[in-house]
Amino acid sequence: MNTPALRRILLLCTGNTCRSPMAAGLLRAALRDRFGERADKVEVRTAGVSVACPGEGASSHAVQVLSERGISLAGHRARQLTPADLGWAELVLTMTRAQKAAVLRLDPLAADRAFVLREFTAPAPAAAGPDQAACYADADADVDVADPIGRGLDAYRAAARDLEKELARLVELIAGEEGSVLPAITAVGAEARARPEHTAGITQQGPAPALSLAVGADHAGYQMKHELTGIAVAMGYEVVDFGASGPASVDYPDFAAKVAATVATGRCRFGLLVCGTGIGMAIAANKIRGIRAATCNDLFLARMARKHNNANVLCIGARVIGAGLAGEVLRTFLSTPFGGERHERRVRKICDLELPPGKEPC
């Protein structure tokens, strides 16, 4: 039996009393059927994008329909989606397109891991033949999992069957990873493959694994980079190292460019750059569209860079702070979620300042 990769999956609906608790119950059961005890490696949580009554249990029809399959929803309590949920999740699956839009309003950068369930599990159009591609286009009009709320038991049974079908595909995608330690599953999102983004003339290659870090340094920072890489790996990150790896004098913009492009194209979720001060690296990395690099030589700055600015590249000065503090700065940066709310509007304005490729500043 193969082993599923460690996963954190967040299932969302509107009120978190019908579809998402049913989906979570069905997914956990399907994972147990497929992987036995190893299913514990996949953590499944739920929330609602607009919860009317936090703490409310699952609706009685949802409870009944799942109990018909031997699944209990007794412990479920409705909860409102928070930015921290989106920071936690490697994969966010909504029941509808409207719910996905609500997710992106809360955190625009969750676009790399948020999908409508049926779009995520659908075969990719690129891999499909002409007939299948046409089917996919037709199906696009009917992507949402229908909301059974306020309707009879049969509507709940139909929603459960629909969910079972999509979740069976999801489990097969997870199974297809064969013990991988990386969340490559996000790379199979049909939507992401179908609609690539463009960043500074670079084609976005797909959504980044949530626990992935591109690292780079110059001669002043290579030793600290080495130490920080160990910390990131211990935190479960896949690390892509662009050098430098020795004391020979090099030019920091060369490394900033590689790390920034790796984050901007979606290959890695975050970047880490170490030079003497952390300043030159940040200036260079911020030239790349989609990058928000912040020089953080203390813990307060690391926390604020994530919480308020949704920074995606951390720059540290190896001639400014020691390895101990630098390690804490990295841990703080990687574990602090974006705060959303008013900060989301401000970060959106930063993004709006980026000129489209070919445009000159006036």
Q: How far is the CB of 281 from ligand RB5 (least distance, A)?
A: 6
- Non-local (6+) Cβ contacts of 63 within 8 A are 57, 72, 73, 74
Cα–Cα distance, 21 to 256 (Å, whole number): 43
Of 53, 113, 94, 101, which Cα lies nearest the Cα of 77? Answer: 53
Q: How far is the CB of 247 from ligand RB5 (least distance, A)?
A: 11
Nearer to ligand RB5, 216 or 340 (CB): 216
Nearer to ligand RB5, 243 or 276 (CB): 276
Q: Which residues of 11-34 are buried (b: 16+ CB within 10 A; e: fewer)?
A: bbbbbbbbbbbbbbbbbbbbbeeb
Asked if residue 253 lies in contact with residue 217, where contact means CB atoms within 8 angstroms, the answer is no
For ligand RB5, the binding residues in 10-49 under the rule CB under 6 A are: none
Nearer to ligand RB5, 26 or 316 (CB): 316
Annotation says 308 is catalytic: yes
Tokens of 33: 């059927």
What distances in angstroms separate CA 57 from CA 52, 127, 158, 220, one per listed residue?
12, 41, 21, 56
Query: Of residues 115, 156, 252, 333, which one binds ligand RB5 by CB under 6 A?
Result: 252
Nearest-CB residue for ligand RB5: 280
- Contact letters (x/-) for ligand RB5, 110-149, by CB under 6 A? ----------------------------------------
For ligand RB5, the binding residues in 311-340 under the rule CB under 6 A are: none
For ligand RB5, the binding residues in 90-109 under the rule CB under 6 A are: none
Nearer to ligand RB5, 35 or 242 (CB): 242
Nearer to ligand RB5, 90 or 218 (CB): 218
Q: How far is the CB of 248 from ligand RB5 (least distance, A)?
A: 12
Cα–Cα distance, 182 to 203 (Å, whole number): 22
Nearer to ligand RB5, 47 or 273 (CB): 273
Nearer to ligand RB5, 116 or 284 (CB): 284
Cα–Cα distance, 276 to 159 (Å, whole number): 57
Q: How far is the CB of 301 from ligand RB5 (least distance, A)?
A: 16
Cα–Cα distance, 149 to 61 (Å, whole number): 9
Residues touching ligand RB5, count (CB under 6 A): 8
Q: How far is the CB of 130 from ligand RB5 (least distance, A)?
A: 53
Q: How far is the CB of 148 from ligand RB5 (least distance, A)?
A: 58
Four-CA torsion 253, 359, 313, 315, nearest 10 degrees: 40
Of 242, 207, 191, which Cα lies nearest the Cα of 221? Answer: 242
For ligand RB5, the binding residues in 204-233 under the rule CB under 6 A are: 218, 220
For ligand RB5, the binding residues in 272-311 under the rule CB under 6 A are: 275-277, 279-280
Asked if residue 189 lies in contact with residue 123, where contact means CB atoms within 8 angstroms, the answer is no
Cα–Cα distance, 318 to 293 (Å, whole number): 16
- Catalytic, out of 13, 18, 268, 275: 275
Q: How far is the CB of 249 from ligand RB5 (least distance, A)?
A: 8
Q: Is 155 exposed, middle or buried (0-12, 13-18, 19+ CB in 10 A)?
A: middle
What distances in angstroms separate CA 170 from CA 10, 96, 261, one per listed residue?
13, 16, 30
Asked if residue 318 lies in contact with residue 326, where contact means CB atoms within 8 angstroms, the answer is yes
- Catalytic, out of 135, 219, 226, 308: 308
- What residues are annotated to the active site? 275, 308
Residues that bind ligand RB5 (CB under 6 A): 218, 220, 252, 275-277, 279-280
